[in-house]
Amino acid sequence: MNRQKSGKQRTNISVDAETLDAARALDLNVSSISNAALAQAVREARARNWADENAEALKERKDWLTANGLPLARHQTLKTE
């Protein structure tokens, strides 16, 4: 893998020409924006994968809380009921 000292790696992407022209005209850092958007997409995909992998445990926890309530609810100082 060809990584530079900053931890960044060169790659090629295809973007709409009109959008790229507008970004350049506005002096936007296309690389930085692309990196941020890709990082956000990775975070969202990881969160979806985690939720899918843990769906059964999350359902069991929700069912337990529905049946038993919050474990320390009686010690709450602010009651919403």
Please compute the mean of the pLDDT values over residues 74-80 and round it to a whole number. 75
Residue 23 CB contacts under 8 Å (≥ 6 apart), including other chains: 30, 33
Q: Confidence class of residue 20 from pLDDT cuts 50, 70 and 90? A: very high
Q: Mean pLDDT across the chain, nearest whole number?
A: 90
Please give the Cα distance from 67 to 53 (Å, whole number).
Answer: 23
14 versus 4: the higher-pLDDT residue is: 14
Please give the Cα distance from 9 to 3 (Å, whole number).
Answer: 5
- The amino acid that residue 22 corresponds to is A
Please compute the mean of the pLDDT values over residues 65-70 and round it to a whole number. 91
Residue 38 has pLDDT above 70, yes or no: yes
